[in-house]
Chain A
Amino acid sequence: MDLALLSLVLCIVGALLALSLNGSVRVVVTGIVGIAACLGALAAALRVLIDGNSVSFHSTLLLPLSGIDLTLDPLGALFVAVTSIVGIASCLYYIGYARDESGSRLSLSMFMLFLLSLLLVPMASSVMTWMFAWEIMALSSMLLITTEHRHSQAARRAALWYGVMTQLGAGSILLGFLIMTLPAHAQTFTLLEQHAGGLTSLERSAAFIFSLIGFASKAGAVPLHVWLPKAHPEAPSPISALMSGSMVALGIYGIIRVGLTLLGGGSLWWWLVVTSLGVASALFGALHATTSTDIKRLLAYSTIDVMGLVLLGVGAAGAMAATHHHEVAHLAMVASLLLIVAHSGFKGCLFLAAGAIERSTGTRNLDQLGGLLSRMRVTAIVFVVATLSVMAVPLFSGFSSEWLLFEGLLGGFISHNSATSIAMLVSVTALALTGGLTAIAFVKAFGIAFLGQPRSSNAEHARDASPTMGVAMFFLCIPSIVLGLAPGSVIPLLNRASDVGLRLHVASPLRPGAGLDLLSSRGSIEPLLILAVGVIASLGLWGLLRLVARGGVRRAAAWSSGRDVLTPRMQYTATSFAEPLQRVFVDVLRPDNDLDVTHESESRYYEQHLAFLNRVDDTIENSIYQPVIKLVRRAGTAALRLQNGSIHRYLALGFIALLVVLVVLT
């Protein structure tokens, strides 16, 4: 615990240093302190994960009335470890990235506080501590989203959306916790867990649903996701990496902690709700990722998609635990946790790479990029590794975790309960569909941004990321490769976390080893052996080619149908690449297409000017949130009539309100 506490203190020291130092030293010192804090937290978390013993800390000094309760158990430690790994990369990246606003006192100190809260939430073991950490997380990240508020109206709007959604979510979580504290009259998690049996089943379900609303909103589950595709793109990239790799995962952590650990699993229907949230998020996120042209927006939607898959896994784990198939529950839980770890690596890396692109070209719009492969080599290499991982190409982390999830869902068919069978079928279908859609989205992201000719002069004069940024990005590639080639190496750690989450002590569902080998012998993969076969095949092919292929290589113009001009504007863009798919899913996406033709005055057969607009808005935002916003605004306008500026009227209103209160109370 000492190490963990030290790292928390270091975050606070970092925040204070950020406020007091001047000039370029500020960024460097804060970054280094942040890295030290993350290393400490990582060491503490790994010790807990390897030993399996939890450590706790209680102090009455820090928070008035209730004091602060911290416990680092294997489940929390896993999330601390995830945060630390992304945190190390983000701090290092920030040193090379900070400039003007992003290097200001406010931004840097908020960055440190954000890091503190991300480490604190998984350690919190009482309601007060939890809500305290949760609120620091919400407020610091909201301020970080407004970093660029001077130049960008979008940043201000995003912060507003985020603030409203996150506060509603926090309120909902608090309500859930309050219901849980009813029988225990205590607020520490150990007591809540012991007294959870004292709740009636209605109270229990209400507590779960209220906290689920808050946590699902943080995890970006559809339809509570609207803040995510706005907030992730506007935050500075290292912050986006932390938000997507770690903060969003804490939503999942909350669901596991409250639903499975504190409330002890509950009824089957809870988990069917979680599964349906997961299915909706996975499909909606993947579909919108394919049509997004803003690279960070694309990544944000992809985060919704992956979190949807994680929710599928958690839902399956809960459903299997509720129907007493403990081994399958364990497998599904391990798969979800593996996917969380893998996701934090590749998505963190992608956000950092997107930040490097934005920094060097000044745009996030894929339609203005192109040809970056030869201009930004380091970024390109990192982007390729992370992209292959997110597309679930074999030998990378996305593949091993999605395969395990597939096996977990396949195992779920063991239950003869028709509701779970349907849930598993829908889940596997969603998993399969998102696989294909993710491939389109990321072939588009890499192909349009890095290949072909540059589509704007900014892209043409792009320069590679600074060395610190490069090192940070390479660091986050490591999980993609390690978890891809030897996923079995982390399984023992995930087992301990899953044991705590499910409150079970069942044997590992996998045989020990570098690969993944199910005990139930329903399947196995050995990525290292597949790699060996692949390497032998490549070497053989290379030798064969040297023997057979003659004729050499010559550079020539690309085929342009007989004309000798090929301008960058003739290339496919991100919009046109996704057009066929957009057409297929037109009913879901409801794109906004507008063609504006101005004819020549002499003849209608010649056009003077053509304007084409294609926009895909978030359907859920338009159909659910906008009407509510409109309603609120109308109510506000109506209430405006009460206010005419006359002091007499306000006094009268105050008097009437007082009377009403008195009448109601007596």
Chain B
Amino acid sequence: MILAATSLVYSIGTSLLQLVLLTLGAPVLLGVMDKLRARAEGRRGASVLQPLRDIRKLMSKQRLRAHFSSAVLPVAPIVLLVATVVAIAIAPLASTQPLLAPSADIYVIVYLLLTGSIALALAGLDAGTAFGGMGSSRAMTISALAEPALLVAVLALSIQAGTSNVPTIISRTLANPTMLSSPTRLLALVAILIVVIAETGRIPVDNPSTHLELTMIHEAMILEYSGADLGLVSIASAMRLGLLFALVANLFVPWGIATDTSIGGLAMGVVWLAVKTSVIGVGVSFMEVHRAKLRLFRVPELLAGGFVLSILAVVTGLVTR
């Protein structure tokens, strides 16, 4: 009984810790990525805390709502944020035993992220502007093509580990690290990275700093947002990015994650999480400097490539088992 109570407290603590860590850490990670990019381009760049400051500023600003918009416009950021928060709370980031770990199925996490995308896409259509529609249409097209690649890539890991539960996949990988060196994992890693780039709207799929009509995707969709609403969208987007990076890190480099219920292990888990996620962030921003954004209609080819790789991952997994 006491044991159950302790593990429940531990799980709740882990989930809250993950949440706080990503709420504050993800914007800082974005700041670090922007800073690195600026440095690589020969600029000084803003402080790494700038995204946090932006969000704080947005929170105190007036919210403008378009004339023809409905309740969807204010509700969408909340749905997006809640879906992201739930995903972060149940995902194994710092420890393999967060709250509801048995329900932390890969299917649940993927569809929670899709729920957020759907909410934003509807918000884009709400004000009845051409920009919003354009952004929603493009964002949904990209999500619809990225999501299957992600699911199939994770299927490869699921077949290998014999479960679709993410914490169990991670702990089985830790128990049997030779799984990591299999071609299945490598192919799945590349496929998942492509999807993560697409889902977080980074170069070469989308450029987070552009506001040019013909090229923007995410920014067009959220053009009608201002004030606290925009703040919520920004923080949720940052947290999504943090969650996806952290998941990739844990699925492919699981060491460091806490598997027992000790406080020390959890602390190490947090440190390792920060390190692994930052490394991925640095890698992505490095790539952003050296790559140009793809033409919109070339993006599906990239995603199709990811999809094919994920299918190959499953096939190699089946052949070599």
Q: Which residues of A contact B (CB under 8 A)?
A: 370-371, 373-374, 391-394, 399, 402-403, 406-407, 410, 413, 421, 425, 428-429, 431-433, 435-437, 439-440, 443-444, 446-448, 451-453, 515, 517, 521-526, 529-530, 533-534, 537-538, 541, 545, 548-560, 566, 568, 570-572, 576-581, 583-584
Contacts and interface: CB of A to CB of B under 8 A. Distances in A.
A537 B86 contact: yes
- Secondary structure at the B interface, as helix, strand, loop or mixed, is helix
B108 interface: yes
A541 B19 CA distance: 12
B87 to A, nearest CB: 10
A468 B105 CA distance: 40
14 contacts: A407-B164, A425-B315, A436-B148, A453-B68, A517-B102, A523-B107, A533-B100, A537-B89, A549-B63, A551-B62, A566-B128, A568-B128, A576-B137, A577-B140
Given A451-B125, A452-B68, A452-B126, A552 B63 contact: yes
Contacts of B146: 436
B118 A545 contact: no
A541 B111 contact: no
B136 A443 contact: yes
Nearest to A437: B144
Given A453-B68, A524-B165, A428 B152 contact: yes
A413 to B, nearest CB: 5
A530 B117 CA distance: 19
Interface of B: 59-72, 78, 81-83, 85-86, 89-90, 99-100, 102-103, 105, 107-108, 111-112, 114-115, 117-118, 121-122, 124-134, 136-138, 140-141, 143-148, 151-152, 155, 158-159, 162-165, 223-224, 227-228, 231-232, 296-297, 300, 311, 314-315, 318
Contacts of B164: 406-407, 410, 522-523
A528 B158 CA distance: 24
Pick from B69, B128, B162 the residue with the most CB of A within 10 Å.
Answer: B128
B137 A371 contact: no
Nearest to B130: A570
Contacts of A371: 68, 128
Contact of A446 (B122, B223, B231): B122
A524 B103 contact: yes
Nearest to A409: B155
Nearest to A428: B155
Given A541-B78, A584-B145, A451 B126 contact: yes
Contacts of A551: 60-63, 227-228
B304 to A, nearest CB: 8
B263 to A, nearest CB: 23
Contacts of B64: 553-556
Contact of B144 (A523, A525, A550, A581): A581
- In the A-B complex, the 6 residue pairs with the smallest Cβ-Cβ separation, listed nearest first, are A572-B133, A436-B144, A452-B128, A447-B125, A558-B66, A432-B148
Contacts, number: 240
A16 B218 CA distance: 59
A399 B137 contact: no
Contacts of B147: 432, 435-436, 439
A305 B223 CA distance: 34
A568 B128 CA distance: 7
A6 to B, nearest CB: 43
Contact of B72 (A451, A524, A541, A571): A451
A554 B121 contact: no
Contacts of A581: 141, 144
Pick from A432, A444, A579 the residue with the most CB of B within 10 Å.
Answer: A432
A403 B63 contact: no
Pick from B63, B68, B155, B165 the residue with the most CB of A within 10 Å.
Answer: B68
A558 B85 contact: no
Contacts of B81: 541
Nearest to A395: B115
Nearest to A551: B62
Given A392-B111, A522-B163, A452 B127 contact: yes
Contacts of A428: 151-152, 155
B72 A515 contact: no
B122 A436 contact: no
A534 B137 contact: no
A370 B165 contact: no
A572 B137 contact: yes
B184 to A, nearest CB: 13
A538 B85 CA distance: 9
B62 A554 contact: yes
B144 A399 contact: no
A373 B107 contact: no
A560 B3 CA distance: 60
B108 A548 contact: no
B152 A429 contact: yes
Contacts of A537: 82, 85-86, 89
Contact of A553 (B62, B127, B132): B62
A554 B63 contact: yes
B137 A577 contact: yes
Pick from A394, A399, A537 the residue with the most CB of B within 10 Å.
Answer: A394
B311 A425 contact: yes
B129 A440 contact: no
